[in-house]
Amino acid sequence: MTNDKPMDTTGSALYPIREVSRLTGVNSVTLRAWERRYGLLRPQRTPKGHRLYAGEDIRRVENILHWLDRGVSVSQVRELLDRPGRAETMTIDEGDWAGQRRQWIAAVEALDVQGLETLFNQTLALYPVAVCLLEIWQPVVEELEERWHDRLGAAAQRQLLESFLRTRIGTRLYHANQYRQGPPLLLSRLSDDAGRLGALLLALAASDAGYRIQLFDAPLPLGEWALAMERLDAAALLLSSDRAEGNELIRHHLPRLATQLKAPLCLAGPVVHIRAADLEASAIQPLGDTPVAAIERLRGLLG
């Protein structure tokens, strides 16, 4: 039986870009951007110009992800890959991440929707979602939240960013749900007063981890969550909040709801550390403050 998979000159298999994307979790747009803008990859080409990647290229992608996960910006990665010994003496430049965060904040404060669109597409083209969340979007939201206290124009800035992210993330969730293989999750804000931004970023992190997401823009009455979970066949209920919430809700109503559900009731966002003592003895599953950390803990919980 003949093997029709493309081979390089050494007889090793070559992979099309869609297969490399599947194996590494890095989308095709990002792989092409790493090649064109930074020279991080050098795939071979078919006579028709289609990219073909060797096993060495796949290992290089994995090394790129390793450095990105350690907080290195993509502009610094090539030197670390091409000069491995440099890693021991090289100082990670936080300026690149800080510069990107400043661009996001400036666009929000200027109510520059086109600027946000450019930054959003550019960021996702260069980095995996988890890196975008850790290094850019979560820090940007945290800094903006501090700036928005009693500041003129804060309401407009917050509404603009929430509307922008709801549309872009909602679109990504819709398309991702068509092919995700993970179990469905029901996700919402814990209360009407809880911030929408945290729930949106949490939904994006969960989708990126392979879950199918049903995102409710507003919380349901507590008595309706069990029915919604049953009808949607959700593997967990994730509620997000950036504030302390009321004592009755945290100490009585939520723990009671947790015992009524057939799936875990999970809490994410700053409320987790603010209310750590109240959550210890309850059936509620505290996941963590940040989206990426919360979804990592959720994976361990659901197996």
Q: In the structure, what pLDDT confidence band is assigned to residue 75 with cuts at 50, 70 and 90?
A: confident
pLDDT at 3: 52
Listed residue (106, 180, 174) closest to 144, CA to CA: 106
- How many domains does the chain contain in total? 2
- 123 within 8 A of 115, measured Cβ to Cβ: no
pLDDT, tens only, 226-260: 999 999 999 999 999 999 999 999 999 999 999 99
Residue 85: predicted pLDDT: 60
Q: Does residue 185 fall inside a structural domain?
A: yes
- CA-nearest of 186, 96, 112 to 156 is 112
pLDDT at 293: 93
Query: Is the domain of 61 the same as that of 129?
Result: no
At 158 the pLDDT is 95
Q: Which residues constitute the domain of residue 141?
A: 99-302
Range in 1-10, 104-113, 267-276 the model is least confident about: 1-10
User: What is the per-residue pLDDT for 25?
Assistant: 86
Q: Are residues 250 and 137 in the same domain?
A: yes
Domain CATH code at residue 199: 3.40.50.280
What percent of the chain is predicted at pLDDT more than 90? 75
Q: Specify the pTM.
A: 0.83
Name the residue with higher pLDDT: 68 or 206.
Answer: 206
Examine the domain organization and report whether 145 and 287 are in the same domain.
yes
pLDDT above 50 (res 2): no
Q: Strands across the sheet with 184-189, in order?
A: 212-216, 184-189, 236-240, 265-268, 285-288
Calculate the average pLDDT of the chain.
90
Residues 120 and 236 in one domain: yes
pLDDT score for 156? 96
Q: What is the pLDDT of residue 1?
A: 42
- Residue 11 pLDDT exceeds 60: no
